[in-house]
Structures are given as C-alpha cells and as structure tokens.
Structure 1
Amino acid sequence: MEENVYYIPVLLPIAVNKPYFYRHTKLVTSGSIVKVPISNRETYGVVWHNSDQMDMPDKNKIRNIISVMDINSLPLDLLNFVEWVSNYYLSPLGNVLKASFRVKELERVFKLDACYQIDRNVLIKETPQRKLVEDIFVGDIILTKAEIISKTGVSYSVINHMVKSQKLKAVENNTQNKIFDPNEFRKSKLSKEQDIAARDLIQIFNLKEAQTVVLDGVTGSGKTEVYMKAIEGFLLENKQALVLLPEIALTSEFLIRFKNNFGEFVAEWHSGISIKQRKRVWDGVLSNNIKIIIGARSSLFLPFSDLGLIVVDEEHESAYKQEEGIIYQARDMALVRSMLSNANTILSSATPSLETYVNIRNQKYKKISLNKRYGNANMPLVSIMDMKSSKISKESWIPSELIEKMEGVFNKREQVLLFLNRRGYAPLTICRKCGVRMECPNCSTWLVEHKQFNQFRCHHCGYHSKNINKCLSCFASDTLVPCGPGIERLSEEVRKIFPDIRIAIMSSDHLAGIKDINSTLNQIKSNNIDLIIGTQLVAKGHHFPFLTLVGVIDADFGLGVTDMRATEKTYQLLHQVSGRAGREKRQGEVILLTHMPEHPVLQAIVSGERDLFYEEEAIMRENQSLPPFTRMISLIISSRDKNKVTMASKKLLINSFPPKDITLLGPIEAPIARIRGRYRMRFLLKGPKNNKIQVFVKQWIAKIKIEHDVKITVDVDPYNFL
C-alpha cells in the first residue's frame, strides 16, 4: 500500500516572504517546529498556518521534512503576530519569525543550573560583598550563581566561600516539577490610593472584552506595586503576564521584586542572558510553567501559552523603538500582541507619550491616576538657573551656586546627581594648528573624546582612535582643544572641587554590562556613593533613597534639533530625571541649568502643568498634520558608492505616483549623510492613519531594480530622523 503524502508549508527564519513546501508522510499541525533541508544544509522552520494563496511548486522538486521536534507547537496568536508585524513594518516574514526562536538555541541540550538559597541560621563573618549577596535573598527566593553575580557584581570566589560554609545551600529548581500555588503570593502593602487604583484596574479587567489602561502616576507613586496586584488576578486564572522594560539595567531589580512576590514562576528575557537561560525560559513560557516574564522588547516574540496581560513600563521611552534589523515600536506592538491574544494591556508612565495622551483624550484608552508619592514623600522642588547670569568661571561647567548646594548635601551624607545627556569628555575637538575638527572616517559625524580611555570614539559606527593627544589630520601633538562638556569632563571638574567624594559615572561607556550596572546601583542604594554623574541611563525608573539634589547641566540640550518630537522627548527626560530626587522622607531639589530659561518645556517642568503642555503639543502636531494624527514612513537609500545611492533615489522618484492623500518628500541627503561607510539619502512619506501608505510603499519599492550593495531601509512610524 502506497504511503500517504502531505505537502506542508514551512516558514524558515531567513529573509523570505512566504513559506516553502516540504513533503511528509503525516499531517503536521500549524506551529510545529520541524527540521528541514535548505540548499546544502539543514535548519529549523515552523509549519505555517496560512498557505491558501501560495503556488504549489513542481512536486518532484519538493524535499522531505527530516524530523518533527517533540515540543509544543507555537501558538496561533504568535504566528498571527509574526504576520502582523511583517505586514505593518514591511519586513520579510522569515526575518520576523527569526525573532521568535533561534536555531542554535533549539539545538542546545538543556541542563539545569544549580540553584541556591540563603540559610540565615548559618553565621559567617560579614563583609560588604557577602552582605550584598545576602541582601538579594528576600523570602524564599532561589538563584543560580550566574544570577547572583549579575545582580551583585561579586566574584565567584565570594559565592563559592558562602557555598562552602553552607551559608548558601544548593536546592532543586525545576519549575516544571513545582506546583503553582497562588496562596503563596506575598501580599503587597498598598497605600489607600494604590489600593483604590488596584481595585479599579481589576474591575476594568473583569469586563468581557480585553482593555487597554493607562496607569498614570507621578514619579515615586508606586505604579509597579499596583500593576503587580493586577497581575496576581491573572495568575489566579492560570494566565501569563509580560512586563516590558525599556532598559536591561532595570531587569535585575524588577526580577527580585517579582520573585519575592510570586516565587520561581518569574523569569527575565533580554540579550544579556545566556543561551542556556534562554532555552529554559523559552521552554517554560511555551509550556506555561513560567507565568511572568520581565523583559526587553524582544520578549513580545516569546511563545506564550496563555497570555493574559502585557505591562509596558515607562511606555513613553524611545528605547522601545528597535532601530536595526526588524524596525518596530515595542509599545505599539504590545498592543497588537494583546489584541491578537485577547489579552489586556497596561501602559504605565509618569509622562505618557503624546500618542497615549491623545488616545486617552479620545477615550480609546481608560486611565487610572496616582497623584501622590508613596509613603507621603514630597515631590521635588524644581527651579531654573539662568546660565547667562550665574557665577561661573572660565572652563567651568558647574556654577558656584550649585557647588554650594552640593556641599550642603554632602555634609548631610546625602547624594547628588549631576545629569548631562552627553557621553564622553567633549562632543567636539578642534586642532589649533590646522583648524580641522576631528571627524569619523566612516561617518559624517564628529568624533567624541573619551579621555578616560585615551580615545576618540564614534557613537554611530564604533570607530575609535588610539591617541587623543595627536591631530588626526596634521598629526601635530598637544594642539587639540576640546569644545563643550561631556560627563567625563564634569567628573574631572568635580574631583578638583571635592577630591574626597565617592563618584559613580553611569553611562553605557563606563558600565560594561549588567554585572557592572547592578554593582553600581547596589553601591548607590547602599549610600556608598556620594555623587552620581549620568546620562539618560540614570533617568529611567531607578529608586535612589539617599538622593536629594539633582543638577541638570545643559537642560536645554535637545531642544534645538530638527525632530518633531524634540520638545516631547526633552520634557519627558527632564521630568523623569527630576523624579529621582527626594523619593523617600527627605525633601528633594532639582536645578535646571539653561541658557533658555523662558522655554515652554522648562517652564512646564517648573510649574508642573503637564497636561497643559501635552495639550498645546497635541494642537501643534494636529495643525501641522504630524503624528500621532497622521502616519509617516521613512525610506533610507544607502550604499558605499555615492553614485549608486543617487541613481537609486532618482529611479524611485521617477517611479513614484503616490495617491493624492499621501505626501512624498525627497529625496534629500540624510542629516547624517554617511554612517559605517554607507552614503545615505532619505524619502519621507506622510499619509492618513490606515494601511494605504504601507500598500503604496510596498508596491513602489517592488517596481525598482536596484544595484548590488544598494539597500532600502523602511522605517514605519520613524522616531529617528538622522
């Protein structure tokens, strides 16, 4: 008897827009992961659910499925999500699928790491490092050695000594064998306002249809505790929750808080975890053994078995926009993932995005407010210091009035934050001899001096020179003049004024990874740091109990750029960094140093008239037909050959026939005309908020045959206009 033969559509995680057909002797369900041949190699793919529109190739050329993996199928809502992202962002379907699983991780044999729990009955000599380890073990939390190091920054020898002395005891941690018992939840202590907000959230989520709720609370109001209470309700129904964070630096603190409340059914997901951890989490999410994920934007592509809630914490953050690979906005895609999974969404922020503000105003989203800081802490006092009239010496960036306030804070054993959103020592360096500005050889941008590393660095391509004492053009020595301050220059100035204080610099250049970040954060929270000097990394969601004074250097930095979101982004950044001050019983103070004291953004920060600022911004955008009232798409045409970029741009322009309601601008040279050696030109399209503009762009690009090395990058809803 002849075997049955079935032709199975399989989508591969490569740059393709449709599945390939493979032969198998049995029907294979949609979402199954299969091993298949492709060209002269083998790879994994997913049995696709939608092949009605596909043409069947010559059956004699169809190859066999090698094997079907013995794991749960990917859920249908994830497959639909992959398709949705591909269609909306005009990204190849296979590339989007690649975000959902990685072939190397599927091939790894999974082995559980040993886990440890603290034994408080065992007494050993206390050292600062051992205390750091002990402090992260709250309740019955259990952690691997890698997790302990990631959260504390201590060495393996510290942990091994604590294991040897039995202060840390090895315990079994196979979540798949554990019984999920909601009665073991730690009950959060909520203020009256938090309790009312949590009850309101739960009541909204009890409605039949899935809802989107904005949790709009002032900095330090305890929004996290409120949505943790809401998550508890979903876990009682055996559903899963995803908490998205804008920065990896926040995950460790959140992970500890959530594990303290919900035990070992919580896991983290981001680029900093090992392949072994990724495999464990991926399997646990797919089997519904892991209930809560604390993660970065890529967590949206995890195969949740029964997703009930997505929380987007600090939803306004531009870090949710993925700028390379698949270009997408994670906040917006969280709403789509929720819709396709029939899940609810919480957008949490003290400074909502203008998109969210408009959706609240249009009653598309519900809103719950928290107007008081937790524990009756006061909001910080905010003032403006006009740098045009302040007392400041030449080659100094900190006025004497601020120095006096800093000295008073240090005397009280409290902390100061100097915020400057500019990495390195100086943003621009000029040679006195030849007059040349130090420029990146690969990009049309200035090199940034990083004195601490004795390098000039490009913040776009990663290029760095080996010597900051010699001109890159005329090679003269000791003729270079740094222009303007970066955080390293601030640090140099402060060390001269206060030589004995303990300083932590928080920027991506000075903190090599999660281990360094967590070690620094622990020192700050333990009051082992007097002064924090930081970029935007320090403004996002951190709680520093001893921080009472924030000085913002160049508070108007960012207001002069040609970006339609410049005022919104600056307002949000200044509001968030101001919110780090005085979060407990100590009164906080914020001083904004500026040459533009009358600017509406700075006045809004001082007055606290947030909603008035948002309303005026919304009116301006609507009058100018700008997002969120319209949709934009950016096209960047790039190549290492400038002539090829010009020719491809002309071809696109000649073949562009947009509908009347779509405006096409360009081509023009991009503001940064060359990045990583590739010349760049830009088109910008603006149209109504429907998929008409995507349909046009897809058809338009398909008409054009472009030369080798020419790349067209499509950015739907662009945030970056460089």
Structure 2
Amino acid sequence: MRRVRLLVLNAALGPLDYRVPAGMAVEPGSLVIAPLGPRQVLGIVWEAERLPATEVPDARLRPLLEALPVPPLAAPLRRLIEWTADYYCASLAGVARMALGSLAALRGGATTTEYRLTGEVPARLTPQRAVALDALHDEQGSLRELAERAGVSEAVLRGLVGAGALEPVTVDTDRPFPPADPAHAQPDLSADQQEAADLFVEAVQAGTFQPFLLDGVTGSGKTECYFEGIAAAIATGRQVLVLLPEIALTQNFLRRFEARFGVPPVLWHSNLKASERRRAWRAIVRGGDHGGAQVVVGARSALFLPYARLGLIVVDEAHEVSFKQDDGVRYNARDVAVIRARFEGIPVILASATPALESMQLAEAGVYRRIALAARFGGAQLPAIEVVDLRVAQPERQHWLSPPLVKALKDRLLRGEQSLLFLNRRGYAPLTLCRHCGYRFQCPNCTAWLVEHRLSRRLACHHCGHEVPTPEACPECATPDCMVACGPGVERIADEVAERFPEARLAVVTSDTLNSPGKIGEFVETVEAGMVDVIVGTQLVTKGYHFPELTLVGVIDADLGLEGGDLRAGERTYQQIAQVAGRAGRGEKPGEVLIQTRHPEAPVIAALASGDRDAFYQAEAESRRDAGAPPFGRWAAIIVSSEDEAEARDAARAIGGCAPRLPDLMVLGPAPAPMALLRGRHRYRLLVNARRSVQVQAIIREWLGGLTFPPGVRVAVDVDPYSFV
C-alpha cells in the first residue's frame, strides 16, 4: 500500500493523508481529487517531510478518487510556493491556488460553444438588442461573457440567437497558438543597446540564475534590448514570462511584440474570458512546442503559473507599486520574480527608468548586475524641465493652469504639436460639499469622500466602488443646485482646457475612460494619427507610450503625491513625475516639461529640476537608513478588521498587549488605520520595525499563533508593506 500527503486547497483544513489505489500513478506535484466526508476536494501531492501533519494509521486512510490529466507542479514551483507562504506569512493553500489559474483546464482538452454576430439585423429591434449589436462587433464568447460585455441580460442574447443575429460556434479549447519567429524583424540597435542585448542572450544561453537591473532613461530602448533575450529563449525552446504592472499597458506592448516577432504573445490577466484563461493555462503547461505558450505577458498573477520550461523572466516598469498585492496573499511580484528565477536557475531582468531604491541598493551590493542606458535611442534628447512656483505664477481664481503652462499649451496648439497634462486624481473634484450648510458627501463604507464624476453624473468612492447619482439638492438641508466642487480632478482640468482653447481636441485618460484593451488601442491609434491635441490623464499615461508628436508635459500638482506621510512618498513622486516627463520629446522634436508646485525647494522637486537622480537616491537612502526603513531595515504591518468597531479595537489591543519585547525590534500601535473604515470594516494597525538580521516572520507567526479571535475578526499580515492606509 502507498500513502501520500496532500496540500488541500482550503487553508482551514491543513495537510491530509490518503491512500493511492492500485493502478493510479502519482508523484510530488500531481493534482488529484480526494474524498472529504461527502464532498470531493482538489489537492496537490506534496513531499511528506516538507509538510508536517498528524499521522493517521494506514487502516484509516481513504483512497484517492482521481489523478487529473495535467503535468505535476515541478519542484522549483513547489519551492516557490513554500518560500512565498513563509516570507509573506500566508497560507500554503492560498499561494498554491494561484498556480491553478483555471480549474476548468485541469480536466483536459475539450470543446466549448461560443457565440458571434452573423451580420443579420433582427426584425424586432428593441433598444436592448440594439445596444448588444453595437457592443459585440468582433466579440466572441459564451452568452454570459457577451452579456457582461454588452451590459444586457442573457435573455436578450438568447432572443438574438433565436432571431438569427447570433450564431453558435464550436471552439477547441486547446487550439494551438501561432509560433513566434525570433528572426522576424531583427532591430538595428545602438552600440549600448547591443552590448546589453548580448549580455541577455549569453545569460539565457548559459541557463543559470543571473539577476539584471536594466536601468535606462525613458526612450532609451530597454524593450528592444530585452526582446533579444526573449528571441534567444524562443530559439532554444524555452518559455519567457514578461510581467507588466498594469493591464492597460498590455495593448501597447502587444503591438511592439507582434512587430518584432510576427505574432502576439499569450496573455494572462484578470480580464480574460474563462475560455481564454483555460486555453492559455493549458498552453503554458504544454510548453513552447506544438502550439504551446512561448511568451506569456501578464499581470502579477502570471508569476505562479506552472510553466513547462521557463528560460527567462522580465519585469517591466519594475519600480511600479502595482506589483505589490494588497489583499489575499500580500506579495511583491518584483521580488518573488527574482526568487522564482533563482529556484528555476534562469536569468531575470528588472527593467525601469526609475528603479526602486531597494533594487538600486542590491545593484550597489553586487547582488544584481546593473546595465545602464544613459541616452535616448536615435539621438532623441531628454526634455528640458522647468519648475513653476505656484506661489509666484498663480493661476486665475478657480483655475489650475499657471500662466507659463497656458502659454506653453498655446504654443503647441499653434505648432500642431501634442501636449499631456498629468494629474493623478480621477474624476472632476475630490470633494463635493453644499455651499449652504457645508454638508460633505462621504462614503458610507469607507473613511473617504465621494469623488464627483461629471462625465458619468455620479459620486463614487475609489476604495470600495460605492456610487450614487449626483443629487439635484443637498440631502442635509434640501437646498437645490447648491453643490460646490473643491479641488481639481482630471475632468476639471479638461474643462479648463476646453474653456481656454475651444478648438483643442481633448482626450481624458483614466481607468474610468480606458477600461478595456479595445478602448486603449483606440486611444493610441487616435493620438498617433494626430487626432488629439491635448491629453489629460492620470498615472495611466505615465509609462509605456511613445507619441513622437508629444512635446509638452505639464504636471498640474507635483505636491499631491507627497501628502500623507507615506514612507515611500518622495520616491514614488520622483518616479511618477520622471516617468510622465519621459513622454515628452521622444521623436525628433525637442520636449519640454513644466512642473507646477508650491514647494520648489522640496528635495524631490529639486532633483527633478536638476536632473540629478543619483543625488536624490543618495539622500533618500540616507533618510531610510536613519529611520531603519527598507532596504536597511524591515517593516511588517498587522491589520485587524471587523464590521464591529469595538470588536476590531479589542482584538488589536489583545495583539498589542502581548507584543514581543526583543532587542532590534519595535512594535508601534495599535492605532486606527488612516483609512479607519474600508468596505464596511473597521480597521486597526500595528507596525513592526526591525533590523535586517531579525527573523520578523517567525516572530509574528509565534506571536499571533497563540491568540484566538471572534469569527468576525480578520487579522492580516503585510510584510514589506507599500500601502499605509
């Protein structure tokens, strides 16, 4: 008789032992179905010595029901799952679940029925049917997916099927992906680019762990350099993973990839249809041969997928905060990517024009190999940067554009060039109040004001998604037409531009307006065709885009990111403004950047104005060293939440009351979190600060392991936190 230990994908159950019936072949990493009482559960066969459990006599073991027809999770991936769970104080089951991105794919190949438009117009064209027909051009999917995309009910679509306007199509879920050609369109690289590309090719061919920091100014051609490493991996039959911080960036990346390799890569992100996720997952486990996935481009969740033969990992825009997950398993994909490369024995490239301070320190220590690209490709020059002191060059009352920025915009419009105005604040105004009684619109679920969105006529919370229509009268005093917008959002800036320059063609770019790959592609094509004069956008437009006719960037409020006392506020502000500044002058025409600020003497603003990035990083490093902050010290947050405020407070006090008193470790709190109410839950925080040598995770596990909490209390641990709200 044989027995195996399962990691069951339910953190509450813990490891379980089972008997392997005769004729069933399993090994560590195999995915199996096992009985649990009257239910069936999915489990992963794990090494018993690495997964302690209560021993059960052989006679009590129940037999496994089925071994699923997919390859087992390889040892390097199992070690990555263990490391991630240990480092981020998460459950093994929670991390392992991310490797099984499509449960439907575990049952093997199949066919499915999808629907598409036939081109026929039904005899009875109701308004909802008309909406569906307009929305579903070039779309194909299940009725549920199409209904979601069109914003109509499935019944409407079933009516269109009956009327002959939609037709069923049988689709092979395992149909192959077209192969990429590493020699399709080989680029003409500069000497510096070629030197970097050669290093990446050598590293891929060597097949050993080598972490690179590709540190190149905006427009220096970092993508073209690591594309050569990708080409080398494809040529040797290895797979490549490219991580991007935002789904919005994928559309631009896809175009560049297809131009270089002849076909698009395989996508992996949360917006994929269920059938697309199933097909992609099965292609990933199949490997790069016979129509499998050669290159996968995705968001952070793509990091844990079971690649058959991984040969290279690239983390683009590696400084981005979006790589840190703030719920569930709170991991940083940039750091875990390096660990996966180490377990796999392959190179990893972190590419950025503004690397994170942690990455720079690791490069200085010799852990990462830093490759610098100091000049833009093709002779393009970095833009001239000018700081506009808003205390001197004041905008007009209830306006937000300073006279120098207004003049620069006018000059660009006269010359037929494009401009970008950047403000990292969605909507029309961050706060709306009643001018009669002072009532402020606040989210009922969060400690946050409702943000006015005039384009969609709604007030919205950007934390929980709560929305209400903009009221005609104040709900407190019933005074009609009394709402006052306080402060600017991108919509308000766009209104000001339209007021000053009515002939200007505007594009407002936020996650509200560009919420699908199709809309992003349409925006890029419109700008490239010269049909937009002024782009007004949030951080969505700060990276990845190349518009040769864009010669002016205006930063509306450079001080916005410095508010709130965040540990990384200065670094984030520098990165964000440097990235948006890099959109200017990427073609033959010179670029100009105007940074509006009320604090021109602030170190981050002075560094941007002088172009002295190294001095800024050095000063930032010294302040972090003095504070014992990362990368020189360790931070971990413990977040306690409950729908009952007293329950959350008592639980947080219980945790604080038994906090460890150890040298080289300090516990701050508990205290109400800055966002004290979030999605209907009251929140308290404790912050742990320790030296690098302290095993913070082990201390926290022992500390919290002896405590019990009411069922309504959640206790989350965030190691290396990025958000302090």
- Structures share a fold, TM > 0.5? yes
Of residues 409-418 and 614-623 in structure 1, the stretch that sits farther from structure 2 once superposed is: 409-418
Counterpart code for 1:69: L
- Output the CA distance in 2 between the equivalents of 1:558 and 1:202: 39
* Paired position in structure 2 for 1:243: 242
Q: Match for residue 6 of structure 1?
A: 2
Partner of residue 74, structure 2: 75
Residue correspondence of structure 1 range 551-566 to structure 2 within 5 A? 551-566=554-569
Aligned partner of 2:95: which letter?
V
- Offset of 1:172 from its aligned partner? 11
Say if 1:267 and 1:690 are closer, same or farther in 2 by CA, change over 3 A. farther
Distance 1:283 1:432, change over 3 A: same
Equivalence for 2:696: 693
Q: Aligned pair in 2 of structure 1 residues 521, 176: CA closer, same or farther (>3 Å)?
A: closer
| Aligned-partner Cα distance in 2 for 1:177–1:531 | 39
For residue 132 of structure 2, what is the aligned residue in structure 1? none
Partner in structure 2 of residue 491 of structure 1: 494
Q: Structure 1 unaligned segments of length 5 or more: list them.
A: 115-142, 155-170
Q: Look up the match of 1:438.
A: 441
1:216, distance to aligned residue in structure 2 (A):
0.8
What secondary structure is seen at the aligned counterpart in 2 of 1:470? coil
Q: Deviations over 1:341-377 (max 9, x none)?
A: 1111111111000001111111211111111111111
Partner SS for 2:541: helix
Matches within 5 A, 1:576-595: 576-595=579-598
Other-structure match for 1:217: 216
How far does residue 412 in structure 1 lie from its aligned partner after superposition? Answer: 2.3
Q: 1:24 aligns with which of 11, 20, 24?
A: 20
Aligned Cα root-mean-square deviation (Å) = 2.7
Contact 2:266 2:296 in 1 (8 A): yes
- Return the TM-score normalized by structure 1: 0.88
Cα distance in 1 between the residues matched to 2:112 and 2:255: 20
Query: Which residue does 2:611 correspond to in 1?
Result: 608
Is 1:312 the counterpart of 2:315 in the alignment? yes
Matched, 1:481 2:479: no
Distance 1:200 1:308, change over 3 A: same
Distance 1:329 1:423, change over 3 A: same
Q: Which amino acid aligns with 2:227?
A: M
Write the mapping of 1:382-393 to structure 2, written as runs, cut at 5 A.
382-393=385-396
Q: What's the CA shift for 1:15?
A: 2.2
Matches of 1:695 and 1:65 in 2, distance apart?
34
Structure 1 residue 470 and structure 2 residue 473: aligned? yes
Give the C-alpha shift of residue 176 in structure 1: 5.0
Closer, same or farther: CA 513–41 of 1 in aligned 2, 3 Å: farther
Question: Match of 2:103?
Answer: 103
Measure how far apart 1:196 and its partner are.
2.0
CA contact (8 A) 1:205 1:211 kept: no
**Residue 660 of structure 1: aligned partner:** 663
Secondary structure of 1:355's aligned partner? helix
1:364 aligns with 2:367: yes
Query: Which residue is equivalent to 1:641?
Result: 644
Equivalenced residue count is 672
Contact 1:198 1:226 in 2 (8 A): yes
Aligned-pair distance for 1:522? 2.0
Q: 1:414 aligns with which of 407, 412, 417?
A: 417
Question: What is the rounded CA distance, in whole Å, between the counterparts of 2:182 and 2:454 in structure 1?
Answer: 55
Within a 5 Å distance, the mapping from 1:613-632 to structure 2 comes to: 613-632=616-635
- After TM superposition, the structure 1 = structure 2 runs for residues 492-531 of structure 1, keeping only pairs within 5 Å, are 492-531=495-534
For residue 109 of structure 1, report the CA deviation from its aligned partner. Answer: 5.3
The change in CA–CA distance for 1:573 and 1:303 in structure 2 (over 3 A counts) is same
**Partner Cα separation in structure 2 for residue 498 and residue 229 of structure 1:** 45
1:241 CA drift (Å)? 1.3
Once the two structures are TM-superposed, the CA of residue 66 in structure 1 deviates from its matched residue by 1.7
Cα deviation for residue 721 of structure 1 reads: 0.4
Q: What displacement does 1:520 show?
A: 1.5
The alignment partner of 1:453 has SS state of coil
Q: For 1:130-149, list aligned pairs within 5 A.
A: none
2:160 aligns to what? none
- How far apart are 1:237 and its partner, in Å? 2.5
TM-score by length of 2: 0.88
Partner residue of 1:321 out of 314, 317, 324: 324
Deviation at 1:145, TM superposition (A): 6.9
Shift of 1:256: 3.1
Amino acid at match of 1:358: Q
**Partner secondary structure for residue 251 of structure 2:** helix
CA 1:206–1:286: 2 relative to 1, 3 Å = closer
- Measure the CA separation in 1 of the matches of 2:694 and 2:534: 50
Identical-pair percentage: 38
Alignment of 1:270-281 (within 5 A): 270-281=269-280
Deviates more, 1:500-509 or 1:630-639: 500-509
The Cα shift of 1:211 comes to 1.0
Q: Which residue does the alignment assign to 1:258?
A: 257
- Unaligned stretches of 5+ residues in structure 2: 115-137, 151-170
In structure 1, C-alpha distance between the alignment counterparts of 2:176 and 2:463, rounded to whole Å: 44
1:709 maps to amino acid: G
Code of the residue aligned with 1:396 in structure 2: it is H
Deviation of 1:44 (Å):
2.6
Per-residue CA deviation, residues 224-246 of structure 1 (Å, 9 max, x unaligned), is 00011122222232221111111
Deviations 1:88-123 (A, max 9, x none): 111111111111114244358544999xxxxxxxxx
For residue 467 of structure 2, give the secondary structure of its aligned residue in structure 1: coil
What is the deviation of 1:252?
A: 2.2
